[in-house]
Amino acid sequence: MTAPTPSVVLTDIVHRYGAHRAVNGVSLAVESREILCVVGPSGCGKSTLLRLISGLETLQQGTIAVGGRVLAAPGQSLPPERRPVGMMFQDFALFPHMTVSGNIAFGQTDRPRAERQKRVAALLESMALTRYADAYPHTLSGGQQQRVALARALARDPQVLLLDEPFSALDEQLRRSVRDEVVRLIRATGIATIVVTHDPEEAMEIGSRVAVMDGGQLVQTDTPLALYRNPANSFVARLFGEINRFDATVENGQIVTPLGRFAAPDHRSGDRVEVACRIEDLALSPLNSHPDAVRVRVRHASFLGSSTRICLALPHGNGAGANGVGGNGSGDHPPGEIHARLPGHVDVRAGDELAARVDAGRVMLFPSA
Ligand SMILES: Nc1ncnc2c1ncn2[C@@H]1O[C@H](COP(=O)(O)OP(=O)(O)OP(=O)(O)O)[C@@H](O)[C@H]1O
């Protein structure tokens, strides 16, 4: 079997606004039938990347190719309307004075009228919008408007679809159902798709792969499972779920943390490392039930429906400086506090003492930043 040909290939893209490098050396390939999500904090360069692919922004450095054809390289740029790219924006950007049909037909001016009408009818049908063909956007629900925007993006039969925060204008209730529907429709087209979102959970839900961006750079591109299990650094680890984090120094292939001693075979003595574990990987059991566990005291527990999140105090002195351990005990949490998340309802109260431990296989080690 031959490997699928990438539909979109970005090579070493750099984009500056003045002296600021908004995109800094991004290379990425997306295959047809693939939905890739780009996720990262506000200002990390996600939208700029999409604007470069669509041609709304002029490329300064690198190359952009779609379907084997170079769309942009320094000194060479196909205008946006000639790129095989469909784009959908956060606010849908529908034309209020045009009907649903008019909105979908917009931008197909290079086609004969009959062909244009046929394409619009087919899209109305596939998006379950036929009965709204003559309606104006403001009379439609958020979900329906979203489908019109998707139909418009598909109208020119693009080879790549770009979606910039497509669901963030929808309220929480509507968001999930519209998202499921839109993703189902996109999958049915088989078009290579890049979705920008600031919501890591949304990225995991939609993307077959997720590209994590920070400060204009791609930090890691992988499947949701690989990003969750093997994050490249603690920024990625934290993006996909809450972690307990400690600073430590490697001594003779080992690190000592408030949660016990762990092997660090790939590090040299004296290396400063960040040690992290997901809060759902922290196991709690009755006191003295496990020889390797540490004694913790419940500070607070919150029942969240599908899980219970528990804030725990580490034993006094089992934080900064103890047993060669540097740091304050736990990353973003108050000093000396760790968190656990257990499935379902867990009946614990403030002051209860428990045994906490984490499986060595679930401990993540990163070089100190
Ligand atoms: N036209 C512009 N002129 C100057 N700076 C810009 C321009 N557009 C974006 N920037 C800056 O470039 C950086 C990247 O912006 P971009 O919109 O790509 O980020 P983003 O990750 O999409 O953020 P958000 O999630 O908030 O939309 C930011 O620091 C932003 O302020």
Statement to judge: residues 153 and 75 lie in one domain: yes
> Which atom in ligand 1 lies closest to the alpha carbon of residue 216?
14
Classify residue 351: in a domain, yes or no. Answer: yes
- Which residue segment(s) compose the domain that 355 sits in? 242-367
Pick from 236, 252, 287: which residue ends a domain?
A: 236
Residue whose token pair is 């993307």: 207
Query: Ligand 1 mean position to 58 CA, how many Å?
Result: 15
* pLDDT at 292 exceeding the cut of 60: yes
Residue range 227-259, pLDDT digits in tens = 999 999 999 999 999 999 999 999 999 999 999
Window from 82-96, 193-207, 295-309 with minimum mean pLDDT: 82-96
Rounded Cα distance between 174 and 142, Å, is 8
One domain for residues 40 and 146: yes
The CATH number of whichever domain residue 363 belongs to comes to 2.40.50.140
Please check whether residues 293 and 184 belong to one and the same domain: no
Ligand 1 atom 4 nearest Cα: 17
One domain for residues 205 and 248: no
341 in the same domain as 280: yes
Mean pLDDT, to the nearest integer, of 283-312? Answer: 92
In this structure, the answer to whether residues 119 and 195 fall within a common structural domain is: yes
Instruction: Judge if the beta carbon of residue 22 lies within 6 A of ligand 1.
Output: yes
Q: Which protein residue has the closest C-alpha to ligand 1 atom 31?
A: 43
- The mean per-residue pLDDT over the stretch 74-84 comes to 90
Over the stretch 7-21, which tens digit does the pLDDT of each residue have? Answer: 999 999 999 999 999
Instruction: Find out whether the beta carbon of 62 lies less than 6 Å from any atom of ligand 1.
Output: no
For residue 154, what are its two tokens? 């598909």
User: Are the C-beta atoms of residues 47 and 23 closer than 8 Å to each other?
Assistant: no
Tell me what the mean pLDDT of segment 192-207 comes to: 94
The answer to whether the CB of 42 is under 6 A from ligand 1 is yes
pLDDT at 107: 67
pLDDT of residue 318: 52
CA of 52 to the centre of ligand 1 (A): 12
DSSP 72-125: EETTEE--GGGSSEEEE-TT----TTS-HHHHHHTT-TTS-HHHHHHHHHHHHH
249 found inside a domain: yes
Q: What is the pLDDT of residues 112-136, one digit of tens each?
A: 778 888 889 988 988 888 999 999 9
Instruction: Check residue 116 and give its pLDDT.
Output: 83
- Whether residue 2 is contained in a domain is answered as no
For residue 170 the two structure tokens come to 């929808």
- Using the mean position of ligand 1's atoms as its centre, give its distance from the Cα of residue 213 in Å: 13
Is 111 a domain residue?
yes
- Concatenate the DSSP letters of all residues of 117-135 into one string: HHHHHHHHHHTT-GGGTT-
Q: Are 252 and 220 part of one and the same domain? A: no
Residue after which a domain boundary falls, among 205, 220, 236: 236
Other residues' Cβ atoms within 10 Å of the Cβ of residue 19: 5
Residue 45 has pLDDT above 90, yes or no: yes
DSSP symbol at 327: S
The interface predicted TM-score of the complex, written ipTM, equals 0.96
The total of structural domains in the chain comes to 2
Confidence bin at 326 (pLDDT 50/70/90): very low
Q: In this structure, which residue's CA is closest to atom 5 in ligand 1?
A: 17
More confident residue, 104 or 142: 104
Mean pLDDT (whole number) for 160-183:
85
pLDDT at site 172: 81
- Which of 47, 162, 167 should be mutated for ligand 1, with most atoms under 8 A from CB? 47
Q: Do 336 and 194 share a structural domain? A: no
In the reported structure, the alpha carbon of residue 214 is separated from the centroid of ligand 1 by a whole-number distance in angstroms of 12
Indicate whether 1 belongs to any domain: no
Q: How many A from CA of 15 to the centre of ligand 1?
A: 11
Q: What are phi and psi of 176, to 5 degrees?
A: -65, -45
Indicate which residue's Cα is closest to atom 17 of ligand 1: 47
Q: Are residues 26 and 77 in the same domain?
A: yes
- State which of 236, 263, 278 marks the end of a domain: 236
pLDDT higher than threshold 70 for residue 214? yes
Is 80 within the bounds of a domain? yes
350 and 257 part of one domain: yes
Ligand 1 centre to CA of 65 (Å) is 23
The single-letter code of the amino acid at 8 is V
Do 259 and 311 belong together in one domain? yes
With a CB cutoff of 8 Å and minimum separation 6, the contacts of 68 are 5
Question: CA-CA distance, 176 to 172, in Å (whole number)?
Answer: 7
User: At 123, which CATH number?
Assistant: 3.40.50.300
CA distance 271 to 246: 14
| Mean pLDDT of the 318-338 span | 50
Stretch among 33-42, 53-62, 108-117 having the lowest mean pLDDT: 108-117
Q: How far is CA 170 from CA 99, 112, 142, 173, 199, in A?
A: 21, 35, 7, 8, 14
Residue 3's pLDDT band, with cuts at 50, 70 and 90, is low
349 and 311 both lie in a single domain: yes
Q: Is 198 in the pocket of ligand 1 (CB under 6 A)?
A: yes
- With a 6 Å cutoff on the Cβ, whether 48 touches ligand 1 is yes
Percent of the chain with pLDDT over 70: 93
17 lines ligand 1 (CB under 6 A): yes
Mean pLDDT of the chain: 88
